């Protein structure tokens, strides 16, 4: 496993639950279903630096190992929702081990929707310290900016 991140702690790199919901609504807009929900277990979240988050995403050994096995062997036993859970867990574990991080979970979660339309899919998402929203395709370790997601629709569930 790769070394843990050591971002510099700063109070301006956190966001409240209320602010997070507003950011998601503002940035995703019509991509959200009218009945979308955001599930949060915490009140504030740490906004990661883009390059630090990219390092974690691209150095996730569980995703790399599973990808080499091939989708035809996995079927529904280890598919998109499982990949997104594994990558979310990697961020949680890094946060736990990272002593320089504020005592807040990463602003990094899981999303379900038609990603891209009309295919139901589970992915990850993050909001960075620049308050920029990204989707993450965990099966390919790919970070996707909002500009490239015009066909992502009917997002119904998000958790962080």
Q: In which domain, by residue range, is 126 found?
A: 14-159
92: helix, coil or strand? Answer: helix
Split at pLDDT 50, 70, 90, the class of 69 is low
Taking only the tens place, the pLDDT of each residue in 93-110 is 888 887 656 789 999 999
Q: What is the pTM (predicted TM-score) of this model?
A: 0.86
Q: Residue 5 domain-assigned?
A: no
* Most confidently modeled range among 34-38, 81-85, 103-107: 34-38
Residue 1: its pLDDT value, please?
A: 47
Q: Residue 1 domain-assigned?
A: no
Identify the CATH number of the domain in which residue 144 sits.
3.30.460.70
**Structural domain count, the chain:** 1
Task: Work out the average pLDDT over 101-125.
Answer: 93
Strand order in the sheet with 32-39: 32-39, 153-159, 108-114, 120-127, 133-137, 142-145
Q: Are 38 and 20 spatial neighbours (Cβ–Cβ below 8 Å)?
A: yes
């Amino acid at each position: 496993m790769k070394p843990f991140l050591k971002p510099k702690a700063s109070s301006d790199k956190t966001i409240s639950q209320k602010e997070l919901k507003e950011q998601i609504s503002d940035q995703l807009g019509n991509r959200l279903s009218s009945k979308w929900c955001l599930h949060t277990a915490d009140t504030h979240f740490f906004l990661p630096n883009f390059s630090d988050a990219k390092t974690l995403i691209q150095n996730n050994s569980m995703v790399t190992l599973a990808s080499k096995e091939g989708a035809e062997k996995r079927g529904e036993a280890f598919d998109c929702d499982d990949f997104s859970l594994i990558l979310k867990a990697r961020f949680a574990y890094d946060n736990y081990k990272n002593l320089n991080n504020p005592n807040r979970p990463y602003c990094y979660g899981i999303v379900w929707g038609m990603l891209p339309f009309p295919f139901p899919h589970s992915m990850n998402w993050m909001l960075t310290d620049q308050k920029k929203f990204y989707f993450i395709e965990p099966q390919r370790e790919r970070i996707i900016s909002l500009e490239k997601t015009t066909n992502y629709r009917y997002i119904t569930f998000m958790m962080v």
